[in-house]
Amino acid sequence: MVAYVSSKWAMRGLTKVAAIELGPARIRVNTILPGSILTPMGNPNGEDMATYNRHFAGHPLGRIGLPEEIAKLALFLASDDSSYCTGAEFLADPRVIEAYLGHKYATRAAQLSEAASAALAAPTPTPTPNAVDIAEEEVGPDA
């Protein structure tokens, strides 16, 4: 796992440096970071798509990625449609988002939900009169 992760991070750094160095020559450098893709490596037992997608029930998209989806992303990056994209990391892995943000935001969402429930359950406080209310009582509204 160390070799895999360190090589991914190396590619991210290499992409940034290569984009800076090659940009003046109008050469764009980007990285595609795919997640689980339906390939022999991603599906070593050769399960059919419906069966294999059960493994992705908790996944944000609920399914494994397809090779065609990565190919379309690569085609976009090779086209003039991405002419202003360089030094970028194109993440094609919803699980990374879930892993990175999931716990953090799930915890925060639970805290906000508890706070909202507590606020709704609390009795409505009687408003404290402000300076205008007090002045109107003392002088009258038409003064």
* Catalytic center residues: 4
What CA–CA distances, in Å, run from 33 to 23, 56, 73?
21, 18, 11
What CA–CA distances, in Å, run from 40 to 3, 72, 73?
20, 20, 20
Q: What is the C-alpha separation between 56 and 78, in angstroms, rounded?
A: 30
Q: What is the C-alpha separation between 56 and 49, in angstroms, rounded?
A: 11
